Structure 1
Amino acid sequence: MHITLYRKYRPKGFDEIAGEQEIVQTLKNSLKTNRLAHAYLFTGPRGVGKTSIARLMAKGLNCLKNGITDTPCNECENCLEIAAGNFLDLIEIDAASNRGIDEIRQLKEKINYSPTKGRKKVYIIDEVHMLTKEAFNALLKTLEEPPEHVLFILATTEPDKILPTIISRCQRYDFKTVNYKDMREHLVFIIDNEGYSIDEESLMAIYESSGGSMRDSISILERLIINTENKEITIEKTEDVLGITPVKIIDKFIEIIDNKNQSEGIELLEDIWKNSIDIELFFKDLAKRSKDRMLKGDLKVEKGLKIIDTVYEVLSKFRYEEDKKLVGYVVLNKLTEINIQKEIVIEKVIEKIQEPSIKDFTGTEDIFVGEIQETITLNFDDIRKSWDIIINEAKKVKLTFGAFLVKAYPKDFRENTMIVGFQNDQSFAKSMMESEPYRSLFLDVVRKVLNAKVMVKYELQEVKNKEKVTGDDFSKKIIDFFGGEII
């Protein structure tokens, strides 16, 4: 009968455990000196060795050849039965399916019986967080003062769901995900024993797909072995079996981002879609690849972080959108706009450059050159003519200006101060514009556009001498601002 690789290569001794060196060493010392707690709590992600170590402790306690030891012989009757999973004094309970108070009562009734074949009865309660509150309470006294011949090992992936009174009665060990070095070493050992070869890129892909779970990585490796005919596992085969986007395609997409070539990016996304590659998984792979290239130093940190941030921001925002190809276009659009918006910066220039009058300015060219004029003659008509330019430039500095100022208007200009008016229902927008950093940023924009050191004041009142803004007009402004449409 076929035995899965995970069961075939389950650790037979503490030295075969991948990772968790500190925990392993502490438990070995406890066995070596026979200074054991009556109850242990193993916490951590799935597939990192919690149950395997618990079974090794049962071996160490019941080995017939070496006695209580940190190096069980794996030859005696007890060791072999524990390895096969039919040792009478090793009781494994799945709390997910035996979570009620009745099951715990049955456990308490049997716990006082002496071991049948070993020195100690070992109770391993897996996924212990699934027990009901009543079951936990029934277990409390037993955990605190179990019979001398009993050892409890509780295992869980969610320790926050366990009652503090339970945790306080156990010696707790927190397991971590397996690092790449330890996982690689264990996988290479299995591959060599199975008579296969594998490249480094495939090992890294397995590690990334496993999420640091040793059990998952071995299961992934078994899939690759089953799908490999010539006993040579390559990255191309790994990408195909795991459904991972080929690295060449990801690197090509990063190059498209560098060149800000949106049309080529759309073509690439179309090819990905036609080849049945999941768009969402593609962008997650893009984020992982960006991380790897940043760590290697062949992708600028700023650009790599921007890619990762944009990918997860858009995927989260549109997580309920069924057409993932459209979501891909949104990601492409945002990434190809990286660093192309102008930043408004106030600079002191030693030479004074004569600027054209604001009255003569009608375009949207780069107007921010030269120093701000100390004195310049402005009137309310100049302010009104410049208002749209001010709004557009403010939105370049901070997009939210467009939302706060969508119903604002230039009300007056007196004593070198521009008065910005808000309707009575816009008190929130007014308060935001008066707060930092919006107040300072908007003041800088106004001074640069007007080329004068004016002040800005905000007033809340109804529009006067101005056509009333209707609901339709306001909706149109919002639509124009966000580039949307009414549906």
Structure 2
Amino acid sequence: MQTTLYRKYRPKNFEEIAGEADIIRTLKNSLDNDRMSQAYLFCGPRGIGKTTCARLIAKGINCINNGISSVPCNECENCKAIDNGSFIDLIEIDAASNRGIDEIRDLKEKINYQPSKGRKKIYIIDEVHMLTKEAFNALLKTLEEPPVHVIFILATTEPDKILPTIISRCQRYDFQILTPKESKDKLKEICEAEKVVIDDGSLELIYDISGGSMRDAISVLERVIVSCLGNEIKEEDTSRILGSTSKTLLKEFYETIKSGSMMNGVKFLDKLWEESFDIEKFFKDFARYMKDSLVNESVKVEEGLNIIGKVYDSLNKFKYEEDKRLLGYVVLNNLLKKEPRTSGNEEKAQIKEIIKEKIVYKDSKEKNSRKKEKVDVTIEDIKSMWNDIVDKAKSKKPPYGAFLITAKPTKVDNGFLYIDLGDSLFAKDQLESEYYNIPFQDIVQSMTKSKIKMKYTVAEEKNEIEASDDDTLSKVVDFFSRGED
């Protein structure tokens, strides 16, 4: 029967463990100098070597040929038994399925028996945080006064759930996730041993998916190897097999963003959609790509953070939108939308102009002197040519097709065409932006030969326009007037 790669390449000595250099050095020194603690607590994410280190300690203590050493022989009866999981003095307990007080009482009853074949009995309690409170209290008494022939090694992914009294009686080691280099080096070793050719792009994708877990990385690698059996493994193959986004594709999209071409961006997203890519996942991968680019200093900090911020702002704002293709258009628009930068003095001048406009409007309103521009077009005229208007808009900017899919012209009033967008708040948000509103308004005006303007409504919207508070306005005007003195 074929052995899985993870079991086949499980480290048989401390030198084969990827990462954790400081922890490995400390454990080796403890073994070589026969200064082992009677209780250890190994903390850290899953799949990074906690249980493997525990077994290597058992092997280092009970090796027949080399004695107590950090370099077990791997040839003697005890070493082989530990490797295949049949060593009688190595007791592994899964606390997730044996979490009650009865299991700990059973442990306490058997713990006083001397080792059968080794120097010490090693108890490995995995996921120890799953024990009940009563079981923890029972274990505490055993940890306070353990027999000299016993060593406890507790492993957990959630140390904050363990009683402080337990932690205080253990020598604690916090394992960390592997770095990309540590993971890639280990995977390359396995590929060379298996005579598999794989590129760096594939190894990077495997690392991203495994999240720094060596066990998960090896499992993912095996899946890729089986899928590409006998062939060289390239990044494109790995991306397709794992359903992730290749660095090449992400780089291509970044270049599209830099070019500032909305049409090329739309074509890029349409291609992704046709190839059944998850658009939302693509943008999350793109944000991570920009984060990595920041770390590698291949992208300026301000540019990278701006892109990441716009991606997640859009994804969070429209997280309930079911049409992911449309969501992609919204993100693309926000990425390409350029925001003018103004100095403090320019901003102050702009605010003063706005205030002046409000004052003029306020005075004209009071004198009833404001004139409304006459528009010689009716709602019937608009409805009769609505399909032609939408078709022309779509030919100018493809996203209009999505924004206007449920749109209906409802009335013409005081120079404004009111367009009902159903319950699509995101479409309203986009159509009201300068980027989309002005071109669409030009199309409508051109086809109706009028100066009509647009207003967009949704089902839950309330058309309430409140005048600015006179007192507040006067205070703001007064503030800026003082600045001119």
Provide the TM-score with structure 2 as the length reference: 0.73
Q: Give secondary structure in 1 for the equivalent of 2:344.
A: coil
Whole-angstrom CA distance in 2 between matches of 1:323 and 1:138: 55
Quote the RMSD (CA, aligned, Å). 3.1
1:49 is the counterpart of 2:46: no
Structure 1: any 5+ residue segments left out of the alignment? Answer: 348-365, 388-394, 397-404, 421-441, 456-487
User: Mapping of 1:314-329 within 5 angstroms?
Assistant: 314-329=314-329
On the 8 A contact 2:314/2:334 being kept in 1, the answer is no
1:164 Cα deviation from its structure 2 partner: 0.9
**Residue 212 of structure 1 corresponds to which residue in structure 2?**
212
Q: Give secondary structure in 2 for the equivalent of 1:91.
A: strand
Q: How many residues were matched structurally?
A: 386
Q: In the superposition, relative to structure 1, how do residues 31 and 454 fare at CA in structure 2: closer, same or farther (>3 Å)? A: closer
Whole-angstrom CA distance in 1 between matches of 2:358 and 2:483: 12
Say which of 360, 364, 367 aligns to 1:382.
360
Whole-angstrom CA distance in 1 between matches of 2:118 and 2:244: 48
**Residue 188 of structure 1 corresponds to which residue in structure 2?**
188
On the 8 A contact 2:101/2:132 being kept in 1, the answer is yes
Whole-angstrom CA distance in 2 between matches of 1:176 and 1:284: 24
1:333 Cα deviation from its structure 2 partner: 2.5
Say which of 470, 474, 477 aligns to 1:411.
470
Deviation track 1:128-185 (CA, whole Å, cap 9, x = no partner) reads: 1111111111111111211111111000111111111111111000000111222222
Whole-angstrom CA distance in 1 between matches of 2:359 and 2:209: 63
On the 8 A contact 2:210/2:216 being kept in 1, the answer is yes
Whole-angstrom CA distance in 2 between matches of 1:55 and 1:294: 40
Deviation track 1:392-424 (CA, whole Å, cap 9, x = no partner) reads: xxx99xxxxxxxx97451526xxxx9426xxxx
Q: In the superposition, relative to structure 1, how do residues 55 and 380 fare at CA in structure 2: closer, same or farther (>3 Å)? A: closer
Whole-angstrom CA distance in 1 between matches of 2:290 and 2:208: 13
Whole-angstrom CA distance in 1 between matches of 2:217 and 2:357: 72
1:36 Cα deviation from its structure 2 partner: 1.1
1:299 Cα deviation from its structure 2 partner: 2.3
Whole-angstrom CA distance in 2 between matches of 1:187 and 1:93: 29
**Residue 331 of structure 1 corresponds to which residue in structure 2?**
331
1:345 is the counterpart of 2:344: yes
Deviation track 1:423-464 (CA, whole Å, cap 9, x = no partner) reads: xxxxxxxxxxxxxxxxxxx779x84xxxx5579xxxxxxxxx
1:275 is the counterpart of 2:253: no
1:380 Cα deviation from its structure 2 partner: 9.1
**Residue 201 of structure 2 corresponds to which residue in structure 1?**
201
On the 8 A contact 1:310/1:334 being kept in 2, the answer is yes
**Residue 244 of structure 2 corresponds to which residue in structure 1?**
244
User: Mapping of 1:94-133 within 5 angstroms?
Assistant: 94-133=94-133
Deviation track 1:323-368 (CA, whole Å, cap 9, x = no partner) reads: 333332332232122x424536306xxxxxxxxxxxxxxxxxx995
Structure 2: any 5+ residue segments left out of the alignment? Answer: 366-432, 435-463
User: Mapping of 1:6-155 within 5 angstroms?
Assistant: 6-155=6-155
1:108 Cα deviation from its structure 2 partner: 1.1
Q: Give secondary structure in 1 for the equivalent of 2:345.
A: coil
Whole-angstrom CA distance in 2 between matches of 1:314 and 1:86: 55
Q: Give secondary structure in 2 for the equivalent of 1:255.
A: helix
Whole-angstrom CA distance in 1 between matches of 2:120 and 2:103: 21
On the 8 A contact 1:195/1:231 being kept in 2, the answer is no
Deviation track 1:33-81 (CA, whole Å, cap 9, x = no partner) reads: 1111111000011111100000000001110111111110000000000
Given residue 123 of structure 2, which amino acid in structure 1 is its aligned partner? Y
**Residue 253 of structure 1 corresponds to which residue in structure 2?**
253
1:383 Cα deviation from its structure 2 partner: 6.6
Which runs of structure 1 show a deviation greater than 6 angstroms over 4 or more consecutive aligned residues?
A: none
Whole-angstrom CA distance in 1 between matches of 2:88 and 2:219: 29
Given residue 138 of structure 1, which amino acid in structure 2 is its aligned partner? A
1:117 Cα deviation from its structure 2 partner: 1.1
